[in-house]
Amino acid sequence: MSEIMIENLCKTFGSKDGRVDALKEVSLTIGDGDIYGIIGMSGAGKSTLVRCMNFLERPTGGRVLIGGRPLGSLSERELRRQRERIGMIFQHFNLLMQKTVLENVCFPLYIQGKRKKEARKRAAELLELVGLEERRKAYPSQLSGGQKQRVAIARALASDPEILLCDEATSALDPQTTSSILELLKDINKRFGITIVVITHQMAVVREICTHVAVMKGGQVEEEGKVEDIFAHPRSAAARELIRSDRGGDMQERYGRPEEEIRSGRRIRVVFSENSAFEPVIANMILAFREPVNILRADTKNIGGVAKGEMILEFAPGSINIEAMKTYMSHRGLEAEEVKEDVEQ
């Protein structure tokens, strides 16, 4: 079992400016075999959290349990063995520049005491898995960024981990390369059942690969749950800001002025799925009620292979049909909720 349970986790650092609380009472459960995203802007505490998951950073308080076993109760020897079950992938690859691709993948196997022939055989299998068997004799300096990350993934898999921690693993890559790396991680998860934790500041990464997500800000978890639920109904200001900033990837359409410019009329946030995204619900509603509706913003994205999106609508000031129009949309598969000034600005 590779379920990760984090209970009331705290991490405090001392500095010349005083005490810094990097993590504040963080509690999460990451299911066995899940692809779980932890998202937040710089300074949110997400990288500190992921380093506490394998005790590279020892928490100041709280517990981390893997498979029901608290890491804080392990001896140093037991902790080293536990870390062998947890692979890590970093933003800047951390490859040995003076070693070939094959030798980079062999490195953790040598540390485990594997014989050279056995280690090389296993490394060759992993390079085939990540699509780099033909570059086994190349050096990292001869590889593209995406190829370097594939080597890093192969190296992380060398010890047959049950958990894979990805700390901003695609931040240094272009969008097309990022997409190919995420597809590789999804394939690894499906093929081997490895629990994958993705640390990122990009909502596009979360909606592409993750099933669940925790949104962090200021060392705390603002909200967590299924990606599709948080996208449809973000409860925290941090989640709403990340969704609003997600403008790349597979956006199909966007038009209208930003909602920050709105000065009159009630606003409704409409969430639609693949079952309703291509029906002219809004146009038909305008015809049915004979009342203008201003589309301030609209976009469509792919979340876990399902087309999902949102619209921000503004109704005419003084309209008496708003509730009836919300009901009209609801009956046609659209979810509508009020947008409040103090929340969205």
- 194-245 tens-digit pLDDT: 999 999 988 888 988 999 999 999 999 999 999 988 887 888 888 888 877 7
**Are both 97 and 175 inside the same structural domain?**
yes
Say if residue 281 is in the same domain as residue 147: no
**Domain of 294?**
250-344
Q: Is residue 79 part of a domain?
A: yes
Question: Is 244 contained in some domain?
Answer: no
- 286 and 162 fall within a common domain: no
User: Under DSSP, is residue 338 helix (H, G, I), strand (E, B) or coil?
Assistant: strand
Residue 302 lies in a domain: yes
241 falls within a domain: no
In a domain, 90, yes or no: yes
- Quick check: 254 pLDDT over 90? no
Both 194 and 310 in one domain: the answer is no
DSSP code string of 8-35: EEEEEEEETTEEEEEEEEEEEEE-TT-E
Give the pLDDT confidence score for residue 250 in this predicted structure: 39
Residue with tokens 């490859």: 95
pLDDT tens by residue, 22-59: 999 999 999 999 999 999 988 889 989 999 999 989 99
Residue that is written with structure tokens 């992938």 in the block? 89
DSSP string computed for 150-194: HHHHHHHHTT--SEEEEESTTTTS-HHHHHHHHHHHHHHHHHH--
Q: Same structural domain for residues 170 and 308? A: no
Residue 239 lies in a domain: no
State pLDDT tens for residues 68-104: 899 999 999 899 888 888 999 988 888 999 999 999 9
Examine the fold and report which residue of 190, 207, 234 is the final residue of a domain before the chain moves on.
Answer: 234
Taking residues 277-298, what's their average pLDDT? 78
Mark whether 174 and 77 lie in a shared domain.
Answer: yes
CATH number reported for the structural domain that contains residue 144 in this entry: 3.40.50.300
Starting at the edge strand found earlier in the chain, the sheet holding 163-167 runs 86-90, 163-167, 195-200, 35-39, 212-217, 220-226
Question: Using one digit for the tens of pLDDT, what is the confidence trace for 209-219?
Answer: 999 999 999 99
pLDDT for 302: 67
pLDDT in tens, 144-162: 999 999 999 999 999 899 9
In a domain, 215, yes or no: yes
Whether 50 and 144 share a structural domain: yes
Quote the mean pLDDT of the chain: 84
- The CATH number that applies at residue 267 is 3.30.70.260
Residue at which a domain ends, from 209, 234, 259: 234
* Cα end-to-end distance, the chain, whole Å: 44
pLDDT of residue 274: 60
- Sort strands 163-167 and 86-90 into parallel, antiparallel or unpaired: parallel
Does residue 10 share a domain with residue 83?
yes
Q: Of the residues 208, 234, 260, which one is the last residue of a structural domain?
A: 234
323 CB-near residues (< 8 Å, 6+ apart): none
| % of residues, the chain, pLDDT over 70 | 88
Which among 191, 185, 243 is positioned nearest to 213, based on CA atoms? 243
**CA dist 29 to 32, 63, 112, 195, 292, Å?**
9, 12, 30, 12, 46
Whether 168 is in a domain gets the answer: yes
pLDDT at 212: 94
Q: How far is CA 321 from CA 279, 289, 290, 310, in A?
A: 21, 8, 10, 21
Instruction: For residue 315, give Cα distances in angstroms to 36, 299, 320.
Output: 38, 19, 10
300/210 same-domain check = no
pLDDT by residue (tens digit) across 177-193? 888 999 999 999 999 99
Q: What is the domain count for the chain?
A: 2
List pLDDT tens digits, range 296-322: 877 767 666 666 777 888 888 878 888
CA distance readout (Å), 1 to 5, 34, 46, 225: 12, 12, 24, 21
Q: Using CA atoms, how far apart are residues 49 and 228, in angstroms rounded to an integer?
A: 23
Q: Percentage of residues in the chain with pLDDT exceeding 90?
A: 43
Please indicate, yes or no, whether residues 259 and 302 belong to a single structural domain of this protein. yes
Same domain, 162 and 273: no
**Same domain, yes or no, for 328 and 189?**
no
